C-alpha cells in the first residue's frame, strides 16, 4: 500500500512537471508568434514605404531602424535613443535629468544623422547643420506610434530634406538599353607561404572596378559584396537597380556565395533580364560564371582600365568635379623592424591622432564606433588624423574592402549593427598607414605593398615613404649619448683610468666629456654592435634593445665605485666588456632550451656590484678578480641563504626576508630556471622594453608573473612611507569597529553587556579562531518583546569593564584576526537587532559608507564581484547583507598588483583599458 502511494505521488509530480513545461513552451511559442507577426508587419510596411519614397531603398533595414531611433523623441532617461547614444558614445553621461544633458543628447543625435545622410553622397544637396536641425525638429517622431507611422514620418523627413523629385541622380551619359555585363576576374594564385596575403581582388581588379563607374563616384549602395550578404540584401539591391536607372551597380564576391544565395542571385538576374522598364547597368565580377546566360554579356575591358596611373588620375578628377576634398594619405613601408612605427610616432603622430592596430581580426562595428566618438570630440581640431598600424597577420581581403569603402565611398557601413560613419566634406582628414613586410613573401617591398593592399597603391601612389637604414638611423638622445660616451672611452682605452690626485692632494674622480656630435654617437654604438654582437639581426628593434640594456648598465660608470676607484686595475674595461655581453644576451635571450647565459653582474640602486652565476667554474678570470678569486656564494653570510634569492632581492631592492616570506606564502619553488626568468623580466621592466611570454597552457606563465608582481608590491606594502597608498584592510577595519563600539555600543549599557558576554570566548581564544565564517551556521537573532526587554534589563549583569578595555586595546593595536573582526561585527548587529531601542539601520549604513569610502580612497583594493553586487543592494538593506558585505570585504578583497599582466584580446575596448589602468594613473 505504501509503495503504491509513493508511485501515485511520483506520477502526480511528473504530471505536474510535464504540464508546467508544456505551459512554458506554449508561452514561448506565443511570444515567438507575436514577434514574428510584428516583424512581418514591419517588413510589409517597409516595402510599401520604399515604393512611396525610393530614398529608403538606399538604406538597409537596420540602418532605417537606427534612423527611426534617432528621430524619436527622448523624454525619459531610459529611452531607446538614450541607451543607443550611451552605448555609442561611452564617455558621454546622458541621464536626461537637466537641460544641459538634454542638449548634449540632441547634439549627438544631429551628429549621427549627419553621418547617415552624408553617406548617400547626393551631391546636388548642400545641407547645412542649421537646416538639418530645423528639419529634425519638424519631423521628430512621437513615442508610442506604430511602425507604419514611424516609416511615414521618416519618409517625410527624407523627402523634405532632399527635395526628392525622382531626378535626384543625374547622369550625363544615358544608356538606351538595359545592360548586364560579366567581368571575368583572374583567380588568385595561392602560394603556400603567402596564405595570409591571398585575396581575389588584385591591382587589376580594383582598377577595373573603379573605372567601370565612368563619371560616377560609387556609393556604398551601388556595390553588393556577396561574401556576407543575406536574402534581404539581394532583394533590396535588385530593387535599387530597377529604381535608379541612371546609376551603375556592381556585384562582387559571387564565387564565395553559399549555393542557395547564389541561386537566389541568379534568379534575380533572370527576372532583371525580363524587365521591360529601364534599369541601371549591372556588372557581375566572377571567374566562375559563364556568359551564355540569357541577358548577360561579356564586358571587354579596355587596356586603360587596368592602368593604375590612369585610374589614379581619373579618381583625382572625379573628386575635383564633385567638390570633394581629397584625403591626405601618408604610407610608411619598409622591412620588418626597420623603425617604421618609431618614425611615425616621432614625426607624424600628434596628441590628437587616433590609433588603430589591425591584427588578425578586424571588428568593423568597433571601428565605426571609435570613428564616430573621435569625430564627435573634434570640436577644436580641424585636422583630424588616423594611424593604422597594420600587422603582417591582418585579414587583408577584409581590410582592402574597408579601405575601399572609407576612401572611395567616403563612409563605412556595418551591416550587422546598422552603424554608419561618413567622412566630412569640409575637413581634411589625414591617414597615416604603416605597411607590414615579411621576408617569406619572396618579393621586394614595393611589390609586397601592391599585393597585400592594392587599393592603397592605386589611390595613393605619390605619398609612399620607404624607411631604410640609410634614411632613418638610430635615434640619438640622452640615453644613447651616455652609452656612446663610455663606448668611446672603451674604444680609445681611457676607460681604465683611476682617480687622479693633484699635487695639492685634491682627488679628482674619473669623468668623461659628453659627445656633442650625433653622428659620432651613432658611430660608436654601431661599431660596438658590429664588433661584439655581429649576430644580432640588423634592424631597429635589436639596436634599440641592445642600447637600452647597455644604458641601464652604463650608469655604473657614473657611480661612486667606478669614479673614485683607486686600486682595481682594468675595472672599466672588464666591466664594460661584461656589460656588452649581457646586453647582447638579453636582447635575444631564449629559454626554450637550457643553453642560456648564466653569468650576470647584479647592481643595487647605488650600482655596487654583485655576481649572479650558477657555476663558479664558468666565471671568467677577469670577473673572478673583482671578488678576490673567491666565490661569493661560499661566504659565511650566504651559508644558510638561497643565493638566487639574495641576488634577486639585491636587484629588486627588497629585503631577503621579505622575498623568502613571499616564497613561503605562495609555495613558490624558485628553481634556477625561474630565477633567471625573473632576472630577465625585471631587466625588461627597468629598461621599459616590451616582453612577450609564450608557452603551452599550464607551464606557469601566469604564476611567474603573479609572483613577480608580489615582489614588486612588497616594496610598497612593507614600506611605512606608503601608508597613504597601500590599503590596510585589517588595520582600518579594526579602527572602524573601535569607533562603532565607542560611539554607539557603549552608549547603551544593556547592549554592551550582552555584546561582551557573547564575544568573550572569541577574545579569550577559547574557540578555534581559524574557523571560516561560512562554515559556522549563523544564529538567527530573536527580537524580544517590550516585556522581555524590560525583564532582561532588570536581570542585566554589570558590564565587564576589564574585557571591554581588552577588546578596545586589541582593536587599537590591530591584534585581532579577520575572523574575530568579522565575529565582532556579526555580534554587534545581532545584539542590536534583538533590542527594539537600538538602531540597526544606522549601523548598516555606517558599514556601507565605510567600505564605499575605503574603495574610493584606496584604488589598489581589488574587491570581489560579490562585494560589488552587495554594495548595490541599498534600497532594502538587511542585517544579513551587511554581515555578508563585511565578510566579502575582509576575506576576499585583494591588493591589485603594481606590475600588470596585460592580456589583450581583439575585442578589448578603450573603456576596459581605462578601467584596467585607473589604479595607477
Q: How far apart are CA 461 and CA 459, in angstroms?
A: 6
Q: In this model, does residue 790 exceed pLDDT 80?
A: no
Query: Would you state the pLDDT for residue 921?
Result: 47
Q: Average pLDDT in the 409-433 region?
A: 91
Highest mean pLDDT among 70-84, 450-464, 907-921: 450-464
Of the two residues 130 and 284, the one the predictor is more confident about is 284
* Contact yes or no for 488/515 (Cβ under 8 A): yes
As a whole number, mean pLDDT of residues 181-205 equals 67
- Range 287-293, long-range pairs (CB < 8 A, 24+ positions): 287/184, 287/185, 287/186, 287/187, 287/200, 287/255, 288/254, 288/255, 289/182, 289/254, 290/182, 291/182, 293/182, 293/266, 293/269
Question: Does 788 have pLDDT greater than 70?
Answer: no
All cell numbers assigned to 239: 530593387
Find the range with the poorest average confidence among 39-43, 147-151, 324-328, 808-812.
Answer: 324-328
Q: How far apart are CA 296 and CA 860, in angstroms?
A: 68
Contacts of 493 (CB under 8 A, 6+ apart): 573
> In this structure, are residues 562 and 556 in contact, taking their beta carbons and an 8 Å threshold?
yes
Verify that 880 and 845 share a domain, yes or no. yes
Most confident of 144-158, 169-183, 260-274: 260-274
Indicate whether 512 belongs to any domain: yes
What's the pLDDT score for residue 912?
62
For residue 383, give the CATH number of its domain: 3.40.50.300
Shared-domain flag, residues 663 and 792: no
Asked which of 445-459, 689-703, 730-744 is least confident by mean pLDDT, the reply is: 689-703
More confident residue, 198 or 758: 758
318 located within any domain = no
Domain limits at 277? 180-307
Query: Could you give the CA distance from residue 847 to residue 824 in angstroms, rounded to a whole number?
Result: 13
Assess whether 335 and 375 both reside in one domain. yes
Residue with cell 595570409: 196
- Is 638 part of a structural domain of the chain? yes
The whole-chain average pLDDT of the chain stands at: 84
Q: 723 falls in which pLDDT band (50, 70, 90)?
A: very low
Q: What angle do CA 40, 43, 48 make, to 5 degrees?
A: 125
Cell of 161: 530634406
Above 60 in pLDDT, residue 430?
yes
* Residue 626 maps to a domain: yes
Q: Is the pLDDT of residue 492 over 70?
A: yes
- Residues 588 and 711 both lie in one domain: yes
Q: Do 864 and 733 lie in a common domain?
A: yes
Work out the average pLDDT over 771-780.
49
107-128 pLDDT, tens digit per residue, is 999 999 999 999 998 865 667 8
Residue 216 has pLDDT above 80, yes or no: yes
Co-location of 417 and 491 in the same domain:
no
pLDDT tens sequence across 586-612: 999 888 888 899 999 988 777 677 889
Indicate whether 11 belongs to any domain: no
Q: Is the pLDDT of residue 445 over 90?
A: no
Question: Burial of 566 by CB count in 10 Å (0-12 exposed, 13-18 middle, 19+ buried)?
Answer: exposed
What is the model's pLDDT at position 170?
A: 58
pLDDT at 93 over 60: no
For the chain, first and last CA: distance in Å?
75
CA distance 638 to 634: 7
Q: For the chain, what percent of residues have pLDDT higher than 70?
A: 85
DSSP letter, residue 330? E
pLDDT over 80 at 135, yes or no: yes
> Exposure string (b/e) for 840-871, b if CB count within 10 Å is 16 or more?
beebbebbbebbeebbeebebbebeeebeebb
Compute how many other C-beta atoms are within 10 angstroms of the C-beta atom of residue 139. Answer: 17
Average pLDDT over residues 504-511: 90
pLDDT at residue 427 greater than cutoff 90: no
Q: Which of 655, 690, 716 is the last residue of a domain?
A: 716
DSSP 784: P
Q: Does residue 172 belong to any structural domain of this protein?
A: no
Residues with Cβ within 8 Å of 418's Cβ and at least 6 positions away in sequence, in order, are 60, 61, 62, 63, 65, 66
- Greater confidence (9 vs 350) lies with 350
Tally of structural domains, the chain = 5
Q: Is 765 in a helix, a strand, or coil?
A: coil
What's the pLDDT at 11? 74
**Whether residue 435 is found in the same domain as residue 505:** no
Confidence of residue 700 (pLDDT cuts 50, 70, 90): confident
End residue of a domain, out of 162, 192, 222: 162
Q: Is the pLDDT of residue 38 over 80?
A: yes
- In angstroms, the CA 273 to CA 333 distance is 47
Are residue 155 and residue 112 in the same domain, yes or no? yes
pLDDT for 780 equals 45
Residue 701's pLDDT band, with cuts at 50, 70 and 90, is confident
Vertex 94, ends 88 and 95: CA angle to 5°?
Answer: 140
Same domain, 242 and 124: no
| Mean pLDDT calculated for residue range 754-778 | 64
What are the grid coordinates assigned to 541, written together?
628593434
Phi, psi of 894, rounded to the nearest 5 degrees: -130, 165
Query: Is residue 338 domain-shared with residue 271, that is, in the same domain?
Result: no
Q: Give the least confident one: 27-36, 57-66, 211-220, 871-880.
A: 871-880
- Is a pLDDT exceeding 50 seen at residue 768? no
Strand, coil or helix: 239: helix
pTM of the full structure: 0.72
50-59, 175-184, 280-289, 368-377: lowest mean pLDDT where?
175-184
Whether 459 has a pLDDT exceeding 50, the answer reads: yes
- Beta bridge partners, 355, equal 387
Q: Pick the most confident of 371-380, 548-557, 750-759.
A: 548-557
Same domain as 580, residue 488:
yes
Q: 688: pLDDT confidence band, cut at 50, 70 and 90?
A: confident
Domain boundary among the residues 716, 742, 768 is at 716
Q: How confident is the model at residue 784, as a pLDDT?
A: 46
Same domain, yes or no: 495 and 629: yes
901 assigned to some structural domain: no
In terms of pLDDT, which residue wins out, 211 or 712?
211
Residue 358 counted as domain residue? yes
pLDDT for residue 874: 57
- Read off the pLDDT of each residue in 734-762 and give the average, rounded to a whole number: 87
Q: Which residues are CB-contacts of 554 (< 8 A; sequence separation ≥ 6)?
A: 482, 483, 486, 576, 579
Q: Tell me which long-range contacts 598-603 makes (C-beta under 8 A, separation of at least 24).
A: 598/672, 598/676, 599/623, 600/679, 601/553, 601/575, 602/647, 602/650, 602/651, 603/553, 603/555, 603/556, 603/651
SS3 content of the chain, % helix, strand, coil (to 5): 55, 10, 35
Q: How many residues does the chain have?
A: 921
Region 408-425: what's the mean pLDDT? 92
Q: What is the CATH number of the domain that holds 187?
A: 3.40.50
Which has more pLDDT, 314 or 873? 314
pLDDT band at 584 (very low <50, low <70, confident <90, very high): very high
Higher per-residue pLDDT: 18 or 904:
18
Question: Comparing C-alpha atoms, which of 166, 172, 154, 168 is closest to residue 125?
Answer: 168
Comparing 42 with 916, the larger pLDDT belongs to 42
pLDDT recorded at residue 721: 43
CB 426 within 8 A of CB 394: no
Amino acid at each position: 500500500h505504501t509503495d503504491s502511494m509513493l508511485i501515485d505521488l511520483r506520477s502526480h509530480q511528473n504530471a505536474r512537471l510535464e504540464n508546467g513545461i508544456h505551459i512554458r513552451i506554449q508561452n514561448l511559442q506565443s511570444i515567438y508568434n507575436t514577434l514574428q507577426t510584428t516583424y512581418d508587419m514591419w517588413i510589409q510596411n517597409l516595402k510599401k514605404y520604399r515604393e512611396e519614397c525610393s530614398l529608403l531603398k538606399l538604406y538597409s533595414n537596420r540602418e532605417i531602424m537606427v534612423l527611426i531611433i534617432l528621430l524619436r523623441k527622448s523624454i525619459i532617461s531610459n529611452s531607446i535613443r538614450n541607451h543607443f547614444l550611451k552605448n555609442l558614445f561611452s564617455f558621454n553621461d546622458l541621464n536626461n535629468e537637466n537641460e544641459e544633458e538634454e542638449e548634449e543628447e540632441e547634439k549627438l543625435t544631429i551628429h549621427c544623422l549627419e553621418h547617415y545622410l552624408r553617406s548617400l553622397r547626393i551631391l546636388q544637396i548642400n545641407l547645412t547643420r542649421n537646416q538639418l536641425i530645423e528639419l529634425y525638429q519638424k519631423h521628430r517622431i512621437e513615442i508610442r506610434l506604430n511602425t507604419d507611422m514611424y516609416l511615414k514620418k521618416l519618409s517625410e523627413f527624407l523627402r523634405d530634406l532632399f527635395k526628392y523629385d525622382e531626378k535626384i541622380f543625374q547622369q550625363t551619359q544615358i544608356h538606351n538599353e538595359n545592360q548586364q555585363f560579366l567581368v571575368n576576374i583572374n583567380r588568385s594564385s595561392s602560394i603556400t607561404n603567402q596564405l595570409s596575403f591571398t585575396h581575389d581582388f588584385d591591382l587589376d581588379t580594383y582598377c577595373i572596378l573603379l573605372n567601370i563607374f565612368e563619371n560616377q563616384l560609387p556609393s556604398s549602395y551601388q556595390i553588393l559584396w556577396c561574401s556576407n550578404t543575406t536574402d534581404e540584401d539581394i532583394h533590396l539591391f535588385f530593387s535599387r537597380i530597377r529604381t535608379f536607372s541612371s546609376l551603375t551597380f556592381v556585384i562582387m564576391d559571387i564565387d564565395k556565395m553559399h549555393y542557395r544565395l547564389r541561386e537566389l542571385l541568379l534568379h534575380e538576374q533572370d527576372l532583371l533580364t525580363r524587365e521591360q522598364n529601364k534599369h541601371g547597368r549591372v556588372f557581375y565580377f566572377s571567374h566562375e560564371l559563364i556568359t551564355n546566360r540569357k541577358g548577360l554579356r561579356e564586358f571587354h575591358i579596355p587596356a586603360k582600365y587596368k592602368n593604375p596611373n590612369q585610374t589614379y588620375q581619373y579618381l583625382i578628377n572625379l573628386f575635383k568635379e564633385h567638390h570633394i576634398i581629397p584625403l591626405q594619405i601618408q604610407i610608411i613601408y619598409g622591412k620588418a623592424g626597420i623603425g617604421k612605427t618609431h618614425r611615425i610616432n616621432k614625426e607624424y603622430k600628434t596628441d590628437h591622432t587616433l590609433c588603430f592596430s589591425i591584427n588578425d581580426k578586424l571588428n568593423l562595428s568597433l571601428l565605426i564606433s571609435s570613428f564616430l566618438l573621435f569625430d564627435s570630440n573634434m570640436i577644436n581640431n580641424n585636422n583630424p588624423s588616423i594611424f593604422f598600424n597594420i600587422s603582417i597577420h591582418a585579414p587583408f581581403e577584409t581590410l582592402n574592402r574597408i579601405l575601399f569603402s572609407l576612401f572611395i565611398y567616403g563612409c563605412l557601413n556595418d551591416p550587422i549593427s546598422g552603424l554608419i560613419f561618413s567622412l566630412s566634406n569640409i575637413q581634411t582628414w589625414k591617414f597615416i598607414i604603416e605597411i607590414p613586410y615579411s621576408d617569406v613573401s619572396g618579393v621586394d617591398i614595393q611589390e609586397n605593398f601592391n599585393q597585400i593592399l592594392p587599393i592603397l597603391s592605386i589611390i595613393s601612389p605619390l605619398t609612399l615613404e620607404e624607411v631604410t637604414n640609410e634614411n632613418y638611423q638610430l635615434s640619438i638622445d640622452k640615453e644613447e649619448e651616455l652609452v656612446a660616451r663610455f663606448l668611446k672611452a672603451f674604444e680609445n682605452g681611457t676607460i681604465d683610468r683611476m682617480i687622479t690626485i693633484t699635487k695639492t692632494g685634491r682627488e679628482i674622480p674619473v669623468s668623461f666629456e659628453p659627445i656633442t656630435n650625433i653622428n659620432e654617437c651613432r658611430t660608436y654604438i654601431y661599431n660596438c654592435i658590429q664588433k661584439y654582437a655581429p649576430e644580432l639581426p640588423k634592424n631597429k628593434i635589436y639596436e634599440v634593445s641592445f642600447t637600452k640594456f647597455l644604458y641601464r648598465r652604463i650608469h655604473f660608470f657614473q657611480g661612486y665605485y667606478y669614479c673614485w676607484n683607486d686600486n682595481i686595475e682594468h675595472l672599466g674595461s672588464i666591466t664594460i666588456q661584461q656589460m656588452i655581453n649581457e646586453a647582447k644576451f638579453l636582447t635575444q635571450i631564449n629559454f626554450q632550451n637550457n643553453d642560456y647565459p648564466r653569468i650576470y653582474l647584479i647592481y643595487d640602486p647605488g650600482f655596487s656590484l654583485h655576481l649572479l652565476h650558477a657555476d663558479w667554474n664558468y666565471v671568467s678570470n677577469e670577473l673572478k678578480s673583482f671578488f678576490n678569486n673567491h666565490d661569493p656564494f661560499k661566504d659565511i653570510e650566504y651559508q644558510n641563504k638561497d643565493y638566487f634569492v639574495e641576488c634577486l632581492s639585491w636587484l629588486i631592492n627588497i629585503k631577503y626576508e621579505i622575498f623568502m616570506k613571499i616564497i613561503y606564502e605562495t609555495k613558490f619553488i624558485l628553481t634556477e630556471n625561474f630565477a633567471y626568468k625573473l632576472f630577465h623580466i625585471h631587466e625588461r621592466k627597468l629598461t621599459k622594453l616590451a616582453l612577450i611570454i609564450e608557452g603551452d597552457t599550464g607551464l606557469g606563465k601566469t604564476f611567474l608573473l603573479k609572483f613577480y608582481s608580489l615582489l614588486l608590491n612588497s616594496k610598497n606594502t612593507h614600506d611605512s612611507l606608503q601608508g597613504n597608498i597601500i590599503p590596510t584592510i585589517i588595520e582600518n577595519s579594526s579602527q572602524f569597529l573601535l569607533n562603532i563600539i565607542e560611539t554607539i555600543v557603549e552608549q547603551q549599557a544593556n547592549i554592551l553587556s550582552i555584546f561582551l558576554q557573547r564575544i568573550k570566548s572569541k577574545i579569550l581564544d577559547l574557540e578555534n579562531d581559524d574557523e571560516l565564517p561560512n562554515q559556522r551556521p549563523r544564529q538567527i537573532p530573536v527580537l524580544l518583546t517590550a516585556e522581555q526587554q524590560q525583564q532582561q534589563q532588570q536581570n542585566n549583569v554589570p558590564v565587564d569593564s576589564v574585557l571591554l578595555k581588552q577588546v578596545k586595546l586589541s582593536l587599537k593595536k590591530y591584534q585581532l584576526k579577520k575572523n574575530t573582526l568579522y565575529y565582532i561585527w556579526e555580534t554587534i548587529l545581532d545584539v542590536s537587532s534583538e533590542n527594539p531601542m537600538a538602531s540597526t539601520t544606522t549601523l548598516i549604513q555606517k558599514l556601507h559608507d565605510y567600505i564605499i569610502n575605503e574603495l574610493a580612497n584606496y584604488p589598489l583594493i581589488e574587491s570581489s564581484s560579490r562585494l560589488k553586487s552587495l554594495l548595490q543592494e541599498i534600497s532594502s538593506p538587511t542585517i544579513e547583507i551587511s554581515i555578508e558585505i563585511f565578510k566579502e570585504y575582509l576575506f576576499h578583497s585583494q591588493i591589485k598588483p603594481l606590475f600588470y599582466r596585460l592580456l589583450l584580446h581583439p575585442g578589448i575596448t578603450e573603456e576596459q583599458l581605462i578601467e584596467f589602468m585607473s589604479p595607477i594613473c
